[in-house]
Amino acid sequence: MNRFLFVFAALSTFAATQAHAGGLFVPFALESAQVLPKGVRNVRVGGFTTEITDKYATGGSIAPLGDSFNKQITWKELIDSTPAGFERGQFKGGLESMGVDLDSSVGVARGVVDTRLTTTLPIVAYGVTEKLTVAMALPVIYSNLNVNVGWASNSQFQNTVNSMANERGFYNKVLSYESALQNVVNTKIANLGYKPLENESHTEIGDLTIAGKYQVLSIPKFAVAISPRIVAPTGRIADVDKVIDIAGGDGQWDVGVSAAADYIPNQDFTFTGAIGYTYQVASTKVKRVPIAYDDTLSNDKDANTNEKYGDIMGASLGGRYRIHKLWSVGTGYGLQYKMKDRYTGSAYAPDRYQYLAKDTEQVMQSGIVGLTFSTIPLFRSQKFALPLEASLAYSRVFAGRNVGALDLTAFELVSFF
């Protein structure tokens, strides 16, 4: 029954782009160059859970996930948050008649965003030959989004409102705008045609992955395998009318290949190095095209925007040690890089499409530790009915750029038959 000592791990990072469509996500399993023997099947049920509240910004520093909401609010933006028509014009005219600079600050907007992601990843694999294994995976993703925005006025706002009350008689009119002024962020996005910011929960499928693993070399103490894969856009894409939307898919095909090499000095140690590349195929989508580089919100839509997510490349080093015939521990380091996205279209000026690519280049460094329990030795000695493996892992992003500053706990249960 030595055939059951082989563990299929080609799909260990399938959920990376499913849970964070089009971008980098922390790996939650170790790589391997091993394949299933011919005729052997396995079913793996794995997944992870994580809470995301912070991110690594462009400069590499950690910032709150809702940091883009934290900005100065000007009189002009405040005017835009009041009812359209005569009343907005009256408010603007009153300020101009008082000599108020409409580009000056009246306060600071604040935003808090956090989300919980829990993904279940079933994988079915089959050993076609002694060297080739094929597999299929379809993640089920639960997301919970919490968002809270508001703003705090400064002394200039208070002084101007007092002057309007004393000299211009606008005070009651300003009070009638109070609800809009207190939620200037939501009012602004509503005026641009977005749906209101609100807490949301979704359970949905992600993108389907079909992969293979071919062991090109297997000699004593050394093995090398190549793993091609295709990702099909079966998951829901982000709603263009939502400022924040956690979607299960990215609406485009991916084609990737990775290679892993195992060095096995003895029966207790395995060292693995791996590299990979994913090409993200361009697609046409409806996109909102920004007017300015520093403000991605826009009322302008182009239904034929060409979107090309940046390709992804990565490398990892890891090792496993069998501490007992039933238990093993593992650890690894991963480095990933995603190129900048590209956007083109013909409905608006070409430079406006480049604003969509802001902060889309990504870098991630991560680490992982794991513990695995296996009944395979007991099964081989006929002391256990089934060959099973159960794993628990912890992953953490410890450096990066434009990626989530997160850690996660992952699990996996594997049966062989």
The pTM of this model reads 0.85
Mention every residue, 6+ apart, whose C-beta is less than 8 A from residue 60.
Answer: 399, 400, 401
Q: End-to-end alpha-carbon separation of the chain, Å?
A: 11
Q: Which pLDDT score, from 0 to 100, does residue 8 have?
A: 27
Q: Closest Cα partner for 370 from 24, 4, 31? A: 31
Reduce the secondary structure of the chain to three states and give it as a string.
Answer: CHHHHCCCCCCCCHHHCCCCCCCCCCCCCCCCCCCCCCCCEEEEEEEEEEEECEEECCCCCEEECCHHHCEEEEHHHHHHCCCCCHHHHHHHHHHHHCCCCCCCEEEEEEEEEEEEEEEEEEEEEEECCCCEEEEEECCEEEEEEEEEEEEEECHHHHHHHHHHHHHHCCHHHHHHCHHHHHCHHHHHHHHCCCCCCCCEEEEEECCEEEEEEEEEEEECCEEEEEEEEEEECCCCCCCCCCCCCCCCCCCCCEEEEEEEEEECCCCCEEEEEEEEEEEECCEEEEEECCCECCECCCCCEEEEEEEECCCEEEEEEEEEEEEECCEEEEEEEEEEEECCCEEECCCCCHHHHHHHHCCCCEEEEEEEEEEEEECHHHHHCCCCCCCEEEEEEEEEEEEEECEECCEEEEEEEEEEC
- Counting the structural domains of the chain, the total is 1
Condensed to tens digits (0 to 9), the pLDDT of residues 218-236 reads 999 999 999 999 999 999 9
Condensed to tens digits (0 to 9), the pLDDT of residues 345-400 reads 999 999 999 999 999 999 999 999 999 999 888 888 888 888 889 999 999 999 99
Q: Which pLDDT score, from 0 to 100, does residue 7 have?
A: 26
Residue written as tokens 């050993």? Answer: 127
In which domain, by residue range, is 326 found? 2-416
Q: Which pLDDT score, from 0 to 100, does residue 4 have?
A: 27
Q: Are 192 and 3 in contact (CB under 8 A)?
A: no
pLDDT of residue 200 exceeding 70, the answer is yes
pLDDT of residue 179 exceeding 60, the answer is no
Mention every residue, 6+ apart, whose C-beta is less than 8 A from residue 399.
Answer: 56, 60, 363, 364, 365
C-alpha distances (whole Å) from 365 to each of 285, 296, 318, 334 are 31, 27, 14, 6
* Higher-confidence position of 111 and 280: 280
For residue 82, how far is the Cα from the chain centroid?
A: 35
Q: Closest Cα partner for 109 from 74, 58, 65, 59? A: 74
The CATH number of the domain where 215 resides is what? 2.40.160.40
Residue range 28-48: average pLDDT? 91
Q: Which pLDDT score, from 0 to 100, does residue 66 have?
A: 80
pLDDT of residue 83 exceeding 70, the answer is no
